[in-house]
Amino acid sequence: MREITYLEAVREAMSQEMRKNEDVYILGEDIGVYGGAFGVTRGMIEEFGPERVRNTPISEAGIAGTAVGSALTGMRPILELQFSDFITIALDQLVNQAAKIRYMYGGKGKVPMVVRTPSGSGTGAAAQHSQSLEAWVAHIPGLKVVQPSTAYDAKGLLKAAMDDENPVIFYEHKLLYKTSSEVPEEQYSIPLGKADIKREGTDVTIVATAIMVHKALEAAKELEKEGISVEVVDPRTLVPLDKDTIVESVKKTGRVVVVHEAVKRGGFGGEIASVIAESEAFDFLDAPIKRLGGAESPIPYNPELEKAHVPQVPDIIQAVKETVNRV
């Protein structure tokens, strides 16, 4: 099977759906001729034209409001926010409108829209362009939240998000855009709410999201040399969350480390830890649940400080060793 990048997989998913469904269109800042802040939509305006690849003013609130309104009238917009930090400007439209309308009108009104947005650190973009705020939107009933870690997952999950009748927040980690994996040319869909076991193991489970999936897999390879067998579970979607896969993995291994890039305090790792603690997996635990997350500070511009701000492979290795009493 061919290999393509994460970026190409996202573009291909959108292009294939737009060829099939004329109600699908994209809107956002500089997504036309420029091709978006990270080049994801490059070349799409030449195929679909400016009516379906719509450049917008610099107003995230206006962009989100336009998307909500057009979704209510039968369109299926894909809204691109240049950086996930800017979702803060659009939160009124997303939290108080998009997330609530279907419930408030008993299903008669629906908001089938996708908010695509690059997240995470690692590019030197500093405090206002590097945050991971997925726990904010995961807290809101009515919003679905997706975090693909591979090109294959990105294409399949984006297809499912575009088919969904509810608003979906689709996080694309900046450092993943250039990563590659095998991706079918034809359309396919990965159900929202279905986790993936990226690596099987027996001694400890690592539940990791986005870029941390790759760091967890790297840590698992190193730990294998010391005789520690690590299972890596990628939830892929935070809302809906595949609790069963996580619980069954922890029941098998008896130990768990939860890793995400977002600030540890109030991060989604706390929700995953609670799911485990409130399930039958609790009785199988041989060690306390351990969480790794970002430091409680704005993300620094300095590259070494930026790296120190979020969990790295050595941090994951150390956490696993502590959990399996190998320190």
Residues identified as active-site: 129
| Phi (first) and psi of residue 53, to 5 degrees | -125, 90
Nearest to 125 by CA among 306, 314, 281: 306
DSSP string, 201-261: -SSEEEEE-THHHHHHHHHHHHHHTTT--EEEEE-SEEES--HHHHHHHHHHHS-EEEEEE
Which residues of 48-148 form beta strands (DSSP E)? 53-55, 76-80, 114-119, 144-146
| Phi (first) and psi of residue 176, to 5 degrees | -90, -15
Token digits of residue 183: 């991706």
Token digits of residue 311: 């969990």
* Cα of 141 vs its chain's centroid, Å: 17
Nearest to 309 by CA among 146, 41, 127, 97: 127
Using DSSP bridges, classify how beta strands 196-199 and 53-55 pair: parallel, antiparallel or unpaired: unpaired
Q: State the Cα–Cα distance between residues 11 and 245, nearest whole angstrom.
A: 29
